Chains A and B, each alone.
Chain A
Amino acid sequence: MLQNEIISYVWGMEGKEFRIKNCHLALIALGVAAATLNELKDLLQHIPEDSLYHHFWANRLCVPIHEKSPNNDFSHWVCMTLRDEVLAERLAIIDPQEFATTQDLRKTLIETIERRIQEGEETPRSEKGHKFHFLRSMTIAYPSKWVIAHPKELKGLIAEMSLSSIYYHLIDARHRNRIDDFSGWLSSWGAPFDEAIQKIKKIDLYFLSLREIRKELEQILKLSQ
């Protein structure tokens, strides 16, 4: 299970209250970079797990204004820098949720790149200054202004929640606790929320952007009891 380092300066859920948190990333460079597919493949063998996590998941807190397609950084770099759209598409559909271990994910990434290299087409080198730089990140979580006492308060709130809250309580929570914080909290309120919980668990956290995830969550909770 991919994990990221979390530093939380507030208490989480206490009793029946749900304390909504925001978070911010401290970006840390590993000091290694790839200019070609061969270099990318070789470095992928050894980079730490939290770097893989960052490039698949935490990167969505880093997207700029035009919000690139919410895929992993590897497919984005291969597409935009190496201009290898074939490989970019193959990498883009690798869903980390489908892998039981990080090793399996790493192996699939490497095999996908190797297959492309063996296809024999000219392997480009990235221009100077456009290498793929491996990063990891540290998440700093801190309280927002919202403390929710009852699920009915959530309905009107989701649209106002920051994207970092969505990331922290849905994406990051699933990796920390194997369940997102919304589902976890609603389950303590019993059967009336079972349907909403099932729907939340089905939100495709990997292929949707944070804005799209927030919208889906809002819809689910609006329709719930």
Chain B
Amino acid sequence: MSELIWEPYKTLLGAETIETLFMLAKSLKGAKIVHVNSTHYGGGVAEILHKMVPLMNGLGLNARWEAIEGNELFFECTKTFHNLFQGQKSSFPDSSLLRNYELENERNAAKLAPILQEADFVFIHDPQPLSMIKYLPERKGKWIWRCHIETSCAPQKLWQYLRTFINLFDASVFSLDNFNQALPHPIYLIPPSIDPLSEKNIELSQNEVIEKLKEFKIDPDRKFIAQISRFDRFKDPVGVIWAFQWAKKYHPGLQLVLAGGSAADDPESMAVLNEIQALAKNDPDIFVLNLPPTSHRIINALQRGAEIILQKSIKEGFGLTVAEALWKMKPVIAGNTGGIRLQVLDQITGVLVNTPEGAARQIRSLLQMPEKGREWGLAGKRLVKENFLITRHLRDYLTLMLSNNHTTC
């Protein structure tokens, strides 16, 4: 991959930022790196890897990305892991589901063995491919488990089960420091990031934004607020609808857009979508948009057209949609949870809320005082530029790999 991939980043972020990355990557030139996750499409992890891997190659590394396969039972089991991690009261998977989970990963390990065993660094993303490590004892390089989920509420039984695999890794990476598990290897803290030059974040013309709104029959002459997120109970879309309908009493004409989609590894999303559509069907000012995973430019337009962006999550790993909104200088009303707190500094780059009532009040307040929203927008963009762009994320990964190369680690 040519270094030319970096040219537009130099223009946007300055040559020095990019030169730093090349400097750090020098000692890792040619290193074989493999990222493994559960899907090439949908969700924040896939979105990051789509650019991270080519950018790594543009720095002279030899990176590639593999997605594992799994049957329905496999993804049912891993979705349960995900829900348990986030504190939902689900039953722990029974032994047959766990056995299937391990068998599927044994199969994936056999298929990917030639690539993984020779790699210098393997990054396993989230619990789906986690148990693969057990079936590759001949591995040569450093294996790192990258967890993107919020883990502070994970029940002990889940940790006990997954630790049998996690303990085999050389290091782990979490987005936040809000978990209580000591592991027998270094636990790196690396928040995820957005790509400022992706279809989702690149500048759009006002005309394009308006055209996209009209495609979905959203009135561009009336203000709208939006939550752009996967259809998932932990994003509290029902709470958002309630908050919107309360605020609309004071701002008639306001519209709400709930736009999202499903990820290939999330079997519950259709049920959540149906529930929201039923709630919204009698309100002509609510637009529920089920978008395919490649709708990045549409999402970009929706975020840019919105007056306010909501991310009223009850639980959230990081919340890339928040960083996207802040990058576009939009005021954000967000759930006071997880990685959102790293991005929404209360009353500085947005506002944190704990209830639909809190969100409702903030919507009303921001619509009455748009200058406050503009101030937050400017501060938010600066925060994202300094902390949550893919360049910082890459720098952290390079730092991690360098520190794992060093004998003092």
Contact = CB atoms under 8 A, between A and B. Distances in A.
Contact of A7 (B20, B181, B387, B402): B402
B402 A9 contact: yes
Interface residues of A, number: 27
Given A24-B395, A31-B182, A135-B189, A65 B24 contact: no
A140 B180 contact: no
A154 interface: no
A31 B183 contact: yes
Nearest to A162: B16
B399 A5 contact: no
Interface in A1-30: 5, 7, 9, 22, 24-30
B187 A29 contact: yes
Given A7-B403, A26-B396, A27-B188, A140 B387 contact: no
B186 interface: yes
Interface residues of B, number: 42
B145 to A, nearest CB: 13
B2 interface: no
Contact of A64 (B16, B178, B387, B395): B387
A138 interface: yes
A29 B174 contact: yes
A30 to B, nearest CB: 7
Contacts of A30: 182, 187
A19 to B, nearest CB: 12
Contacts of A129: 152, 178, 337-338, 341
Q: Interface centre among A5, A33, A128, A138, by most B CB within 10 Å?
A: A138
A142 B20 CA distance: 8
Contacts of A125: none
Contacts, number: 85
Contacts of B406: 7
A131 B186 CA distance: 20
A143 interface: yes
Given A7-B408, A133-B178, A142 B400 contact: no
A29 B147 CA distance: 14
Contacts of A128: 152
Contacts of A7: 402-403, 406, 408
A61 to B, nearest CB: 12
B386 interface: yes
A49 to B, nearest CB: 15
Contacts of A64: 342, 345, 383, 387
A68 to B, nearest CB: 10
A135 B186 CA distance: 11
B399 A26 contact: yes
Closest 5 CB pairs of A and B: A31-B182, A133-B177, A27-B189, A29-B187, A26-B399
Interface of B: 16, 19-20, 23-24, 26-27, 152, 174, 177-183, 186-190, 337-338, 341-342, 345, 348-349, 379, 382-383, 386-387, 395-396, 399-400, 402-403, 406, 408-409
Given A7-B403, A27-B188, A129-B337, 11 more contacts: A7-B402, A7-B408, A26-B188, A27-B190, A29-B174, A29-B187, A31-B179, A64-B342, A65-B379, A131-B178, A142-B23
22 contacts: A7-B406, A7-B408, A9-B27, A22-B20, A24-B24, A25-B399, A27-B188, A28-B189, A29-B179, A29-B187, A30-B182, A31-B179, A31-B180, A31-B182, A33-B177, A64-B383, A64-B387, A65-B345, A66-B345, A129-B338, A129-B341, A143-B23
